[in-house]
Amino acid sequence: MDIRGRTVVVAGGAGSLGSVIATSLLARGARIAILDTRLDAESPPGPDVLALQVDVANEDAVVAALESIVGTFGKISALVNCAGLIHSEPLINITERNQRTHRVSTWDAIIRSNLTSAFVLGARVAEHMASNRVKGVLINFSSISSGGNPGQTAYSAAKAGIEAMTKVWSRELGPLGIRALAIAPGFVATPSTSTAMSEAALSELARRTPLLRLAKPSEIASAVAFAIENDFITGTTIAINGGLVL
């Protein structure tokens, strides 16, 4: 797929990683629709950018947002589902007096942010593509944590769900000319990563990575562009982790 002139929806496009992805695709000639719960200075400005404040786990809000996008830019050719939250919390912590187990409220929030949001938006964009005979692509964001990262029960479960869901979509939607794949970054040097993990933990992860550093956001963005452009990639997860094995 030639990115030039295509309408690409970037969920989480105002975040530290999402904004770099949006800017990269914009530079390649795409029209970008950013959906995010917050809109700030990180969102790239311009006539080919539509930024909407949307909770993409809310189906009614998603339906309204997609109507606005199609009315502004026309048919949607690609979706980048990179909305979500990184969270670390042990399953049990016997040193705590009041809350010794992983909070259910946190579990619900992380699953909703990372998995439910991708399901809701992906389903609606897929329906749009199928109804309009668009040969498009759905790109979901997984993580190196999908294989199970100690201290990240909810986050790891959500990302494992992303990979399973992506495989299902590729099989269901492939005959319609719609591709589905996932991108699983390792640890990326972004403010959200620094917030979720201690400096000591990140330093140790960099030391254990064969390339001895975290990923740059631009390296993840280039993989997104590749996934859009290569029409024979579907049903798989592209790992971008610098060789790190958890």
Would residue 245 count as lying in a domain?
A: no
Using alpha carbons, select from 77, 16, 72 the residue that is nearest to residue 43: 16
* Interval 217-243 mean pLDDT: 98
**pLDDT-wise least confident of 45-49, 88-92, 129-133, 181-185:** 45-49
pLDDT at 43: 59
Would residue 115 count as lying in a domain?
A: yes
Angle, nearest 10°, between helix axes 117-131 and 153-173?
10
**pLDDT-wise least confident of 4-8, 44-48, 65-69:** 44-48
Would residue 1 count as lying in a domain?
A: no
Per-residue pLDDT band at 197 (split at 50, 70, 90): confident
pLDDT at 201: 87
For the chain, give the mean pLDDT: 95
Whether pLDDT at 185 is above 70 = yes
Share of the chain above pLDDT 90, in %: 88
Q: How far apart are CA 8 and CA 134, in angstroms?
A: 12
Burial of residue 66 (number of CB atoms within 10 Å: 0-12, 13-18, 19+): buried
* Interval 10-39 mean pLDDT: 95
Would residue 40 count as lying in a domain?
A: yes
Q: Does residue 35 contact residue 11 with C-beta atoms inside 8 Å? A: yes
pLDDT at 41: 55
Rounded alpha-carbon distances, angstroms, from residue 137 to 202, 203, 204, 228:
33, 35, 36, 7
Per-residue pLDDT band at 128 (split at 50, 70, 90): very high
Query: Considering its fold, how many domains does the chain have in total?
Result: 1
Would residue 2 count as lying in a domain?
A: no
Q: Does residue 3 contact residue 225 with C-beta atoms inside 8 Å? A: yes
Q: What is the pLDDT of residues 38-55, one digit of tens each?
A: 986 555 667 899 999 999
All residues at 6 or more sequence positions from 91 whose CB lies less than 8 Å from its CB, including other chains: 101, 102, 153
* Interval 80-94 mean pLDDT: 94
Domain encompassing residue 219 = 7-239
The catalytic residues are: 155
pLDDT at 69: 98
pLDDT at 145: 95
What is the CATH classification number for the domain harbouring 176?
3.40.50.720
Would residue 246 count as lying in a domain?
A: no
Burial of residue 81 (number of CB atoms within 10 Å: 0-12, 13-18, 19+): buried
Per-residue pLDDT band at 27 (split at 50, 70, 90): very high
pLDDT at 196: 76
Q: Does residue 18 contact residue 49 with C-beta atoms inside 8 Å? A: no
Q: Does residue 154 contact residue 194 with C-beta atoms inside 8 Å? A: no
pLDDT at 210: 97
